[in-house]
Amino acid sequence: MSLPTWLSPDLTKAFFAAERQVSPRLEAALRTDVALDVLAVAHALRRLAGGAVTGATNRVVETFGLPSSRQMRRFQRSIDELPRSQR
């Protein structure tokens, strides 16, 4: 009895054999409108949650009188806007 090609002691060979089997099915599933909608919603939710966490973290840091990432971005932007002769 021969073993399937994806079952191999060589991890690289096993990986590429499994990838050849899974890849076409996965690509076909991800090209559907439903999958693209799910990805778009997941991306929007991740951005929303990330923005909320960043905002909360900045408020906590600023409460302790430390510079937050928001303040550092504003500071860097103001330095970048200075004329070269004033730096």
**Are both 51 and 66 inside the same structural domain?**
yes
**Are both 13 and 44 inside the same structural domain?**
no
Q: What is the pLDDT of residues 14-64, one digit of tens each?
A: 888 889 989 999 999 989 999 999 999 999 999 999 999 999 999 999 999
Give the model's pLDDT for residue 14. 82
Q: Can you say whether residue 72 is alpha, beta or left, with left for phi > 0 and alpha for psi between -120 and 50 degrees?
A: alpha
Give the model's pLDDT for residue 35. 94
Give the model's pLDDT for residue 12. 87
**Are both 22 and 40 inside the same structural domain?**
no
Q: Mapping DSSP to helix (H, G, I), strand (E, B) and coil, where does residue 55 land? A: helix
Specify the number of domains making up the chain. 2
Q: Distance between CA 34 and CA 17 in Å, rounded? A: 28
pTM: 0.54
Among 31-35, 51-55, 69-73, 81-85, the range scoring the smallest mean pLDDT is 81-85
**Are both 20 and 56 inside the same structural domain?**
no
* Domain span holding position 42: 33-86
